[in-house]
Amino acid sequence: MSGAGNILADLAPDPAAERFEVLLSRPGVRVERIVSCGQASPPGFWYDQPQGEWVLLLRGAAGLQLEDEPAPRRLEPGDYLWIEPHRRHRVAWTQAGAATLWLAIHVEAAAPPI
């Protein structure tokens, strides 16, 4: 994590694995760059995260399934979505043969008042 860079650099897709890079990590907030190439969440797997996640698709295309919706949302470049903590979701598909670039902002739920 260097503090500065270009999010479009080094987009060579890797069909073998998604690539994750932390661009910013501060108390309560983590910004991540993800490069996918045809990957999807394993069958039957759901993310169930204590943090909220704001996701922005910048290149490529993906299908994002929210458990409480009947079908995956198709995400195109520029599309963003806020996923509340514990809203179960999975990546149904990402475009094959090309890089799909995501920006994800993970936000800790605020501590409850005491």
Q: Is residue 77 near a copy of itself by the rule CB under 8 A?
A: yes
Rounded to whole angstroms, the Cα distance separating 99 from 111 reads 37
Write down the least CB distance from residue 27 to a copy of itself, Å.
4
Does position 47 bind a copy of itself by CB under 8 A? no
Secondary structure E strands in 27-61: 29-36, 52-59
Q: How far is CA 15 from CA 2, 8, 44, 92, in A?
A: 26, 18, 21, 16
Q: How far is the CB of 40 from a copy of itself (least distance, A)?
A: 21
Binding site for a copy of itself (CB under 8 A): 3-9, 23-24, 26-29, 31, 52, 54, 56, 58, 76-82, 103, 105, 107-108, 110
